[in-house]
């Protein structure tokens, strides 16, 4: 299968981009012959034309994976670990190329992409180290039985990933699946498949057997639904919007699959007057403007203590000043903090929310406009003194738009923070540890960050409450959802001596 030579803008470096479907360790053409264009969010130009998978290609990929599973499941754990560790080493060697591909394809600033790649590499290493630690237990029931359990892989796992963190979501899906002896058929978002396909060259180079990892870009309707409905796929891991997550659950029901969902969020970021103001403001910026705000756990509901009106107004003034220092533009330009929104549809959605805020006469602290007439760039935008029932408070925007809401008591804060369909994450900013723990115990969120935000670690599980999802990524919890428990119970009788 041919590769396409792609040039990174501004720095004028090139690399070779795979353009085929990765099935059975080879890049192949789609059976339909259909292709689709991947475009740059920064200037709307075509980056490459890729093969487009549909249900026929899903069938081929699933059969390849199913065949590979028959031997991969019995591959010694330390051998699986060596392969995963080799993959991490190869990715480490090419971390800068991977980061640049991510920025080109997704539109995110290069510093964001480099952060992502570092987390990816460390997580693959973490999974490599866990391969030989998937243990069962012995159970003492009586003296007449030997009873034990063992953790076994599920089989073929289908993964459907979003466009905001293409390679990070790829790692979060394949890492625990492969470590526990499963095989994978993964559909990346059609808007951002480039880094996933490039990594497939490293998977082959690392020595993974054919069929263990298969990556097939395509549409949700033609490719994604076939993954959800396939009877040989025993587990589906989906990351995306809550509305699509509900459809995923329905589509998986007919073939009874294990399903994990990492979905939307509208996370509260809570600021107390006794916080370290400078550090807190940087945490708020990270919470809402990192990755252009296209973060499921973005801290976009900012609750600020308003028991002292002067302190409240001074805080907003300092927040505004720091936001307006951020440089927005092409991800490859020096000093850029925020790049482009990834897709034209999401770009328009963000602008529609900003328009709704203005039409509702919400107070605008800063931002509120499109930048330029080419590419999908939006000013970092904050509205303040926003009502709790506002559309901008209640709905996920998925862009660089946040709202500030004042509070005057802890009880009021907790009630407002929990007034949401979502429960993915929360931030608490205070120098009073007792206060931080008190609030963290009462906020309904899967992850609570104290005096930090978007602070991930391979050992720390991530996932949501309520409509933010089911299951966890990373941590030991991620391995559990890729295994099933087998009980073995043997009757013991008194031996006869000869």
- Known catalytic residues are 262
What's the token pair of residue 5? 């030579």
CA nearest neighbour of 238 among 126, 179, 157: 157
CB-based contact 445:457 (threshold 8 Å): no
CA nearest neighbour of 321 among 366, 370, 357, 352: 366
CA nearest neighbour of 474 among 248, 237, 164: 237
**202-206 contacts: CB < 8 A, separation 24 or more?**
202/87, 202/90, 202/91, 202/94, 203/22, 203/25, 203/87, 204/25, 205/90, 206/83, 206/86, 206/87, 206/90
**469-475 contacts: CB < 8 A, separation 24 or more?**
469/245, 469/260, 469/261, 469/262, 469/263, 469/424, 470/259, 470/260, 470/261, 471/237, 471/259, 471/260, 471/261, 471/262, 472/260, 472/446, 473/172, 473/262, 474/123, 474/126, 474/172
CB-based contact 262:159 (threshold 8 Å): no
How many CA atoms lie less than 13 Å away from 204 in the CB half-sphere?
17
CA dist., res. 332 & res. 335, Å (int): 9
Strands 35-39, 26-28: pairing kind: unpaired
> CB count, 10 Å around CB of 344?
13
What's the token pair of residue 449? 């960050």
CB-based contact 310:344 (threshold 8 Å): no
Q: Which residues contact 430 (CB under 8 A, 6 or more apart)?
A: 272, 274, 275, 436, 450, 451
Classified as helix, coil or strand, 260 is strand
> CB count, 10 Å around CB of 348?
12
């Amino acid at each position: 299968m041919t590769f396409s030579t792609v040039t990174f803008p501004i720095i004028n470096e090139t690399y070779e981009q795979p353009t085929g479907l990765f099935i059975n360790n080879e890049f192949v053409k789609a059976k339909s012959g259909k292709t689709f264009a991947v475009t740059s969010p920064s200037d709307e130009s075509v980056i490459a034309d890729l093969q487009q998978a549909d249900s026929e290609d899903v069938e081929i990929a699933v059969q390849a994976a199913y065949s590979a599973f028959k031997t991969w499941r019995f591959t010694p754990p330390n051998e699986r670990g060596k392969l995963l560790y080799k993959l991490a080493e190869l990715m480490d060697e090419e971390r800068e190329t991977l980061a640049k591909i991510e920025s080109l394809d997704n539109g995110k600033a290069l510093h964001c992409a480099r952060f992502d790649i570092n987390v990816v590499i460390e997580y693959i290493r973490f999974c490599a180290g866990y391969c030989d630690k998937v243990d069962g237990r012995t159970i003492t029931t009586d003296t007449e039985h030997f009873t034990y359990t063992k953790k076994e892989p599920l089989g073929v796992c289908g993964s459907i990933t979003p466009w905001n963190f293409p390679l990070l979501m790829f790692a979060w899906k394949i890492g625990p699946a492969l470590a526990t002896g499963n095989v994978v058929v993964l559909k990346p978002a059609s808007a951002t498949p480039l880094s996933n396909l490039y990594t497939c060259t490293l998977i082959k180079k690392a020595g993974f057997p054919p069929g263990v990892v298969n990556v097939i870009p395509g549409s949700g309707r033609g490719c994604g639904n076939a993954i959800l409905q396939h009877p040989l796929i025993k587990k589906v891991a989906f990351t995306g919007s809550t509305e699509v997550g509900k459809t995923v659950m329905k589509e998986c029901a007919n073939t009874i699959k294990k399903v994990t969902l990492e979905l939307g969020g509208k996370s509260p970021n809570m600021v107390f007057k006794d916080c370290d103001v400078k550090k807190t403001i940087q945490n708020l910026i990270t919470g809402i403007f990192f990755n252009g705000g296209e973060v499921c756990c973005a801290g976009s509901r900012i609750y600020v203590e308003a028991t002292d009106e002067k302190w409240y107004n001074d805080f907003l003034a300092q927040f505004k000043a720091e936001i307006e220092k951020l440089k927005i533009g092409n991800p490859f330009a020096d000093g850029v903090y925020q790049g482009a929104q990834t897709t034209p549809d999401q770009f328009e959605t963000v602008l529609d929310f900003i328009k709704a805020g203005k039409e509702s006469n919400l107070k605008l602290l800063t931002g509120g406009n499109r930048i330029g007439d080419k590419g999908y760039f939006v000013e970092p935008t904050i509205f303040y003194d926003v009502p709790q029932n506002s559309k901008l408070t209640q709905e996920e925007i998925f862009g660089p738009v946040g709202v500030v809401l004042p509070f005057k008591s802890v009880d009021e804060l907790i009630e407002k923070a929990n007034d949401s369909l979502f429960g993915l994450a929360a931030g608490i900013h205070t120098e009073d540890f007792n206060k931080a723990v008190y609030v963290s115990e009462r906020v309904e969120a899967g992850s609570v960050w104290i005096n930090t935000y978007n602070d991930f670690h391979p050992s720390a599980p991530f996932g949501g409450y309520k409509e933010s999802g089911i299951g966890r990524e990373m941590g030991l919890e991620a391995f559990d959802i890729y295994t099933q428990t087998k009980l073995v119970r043997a009757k013991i009788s008194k031996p006869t001596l000869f």
